[in-house]
Structure 1
């Protein structure tokens, strides 16, 4: 029994150590649903606080446009705060901006523009980033 407990403690210690290793995660947001926007922020906020050495990127495109518009977003203040912390970035697709006729001066402070949201996600995955599709029902 003592040997079992020692092995178990070694395994648990290894799991705790593995969780301390920095990670890189890209979040994919395409929904116009404010619940999805709020849950995305909740997930990113929690993870960035729990793993401050890790990197997180939220990529928005398609119907998620309002998430990053200063005058329409229900999470604007959170995006500004998280973007200022350094380990979280927010990216909006230029193609989506063009389709909705949005200019950069309409975006929340701290949101960057990428040429293509889908390509941004694929490139992150090719670099070894984990992938989370955000959806809310």
Structure 2
């Protein structure tokens, strides 16, 4: 007997460079996981100026690392990385690289995931 498929999750869109906004997004992720359960699949997709949240030099590195440790997927856009001349070494350990952030958002929505743009 196979177990039922996991329910769709929540994909969060971040394309803003403001560190205060990054803090609010991280707070939103923690709040939604507290309400919906930590087993709710959750992915933060960062592209454009929002990619700063994935960099090792972000003031939120500890919070991002904690979310990754707790099972949240943090995805960085490879297109943005190329345009900003970044490599995987510039990112927080555990950040996934996706070919295109916008396409990742669409893939998740097509798979039934809820979309959140705080």
Decide: shared fold, TM above 0.5. yes
Q: Give 5+ residue unaligned stretches, structure 2.
A: 1-6
Q: Which has the larger radius of gyration?
A: 1
Question: Which residue pairs with 1:77 in the alignment?
Answer: 62
Question: Could you say which structure has the greater relative contact order, defined with CA pairs below 8 angstroms and 6 or more residues apart?
Answer: 2
Return the structure number with greater helix share: 1
Q: How many residues align?
A: 111
Report if aligned partners of 1:30, 1:61 keep a CA contact under 8 Å in 2.
Answer: yes
CA RMSD of aligned residues (A): 1.2
Gaps of 5+ in 1: 1-21
Q: What corresponds to 1:61 in structure 2?
A: 47
1:39-54 equivalence runs, <5 A: 39-50=24-35, 51-54=37-40
Q: Normalising by the residue count of structure 2, what TM-score does the alignment of the two structures yield?
A: 0.89
Structure 1's consecutive aligned runs of 4 or more residues displaced over 2 angstroms after TM superposition are: none
Task: Measure the CA separation in 1 of the matches of 2:89 and 2:33.
Answer: 27
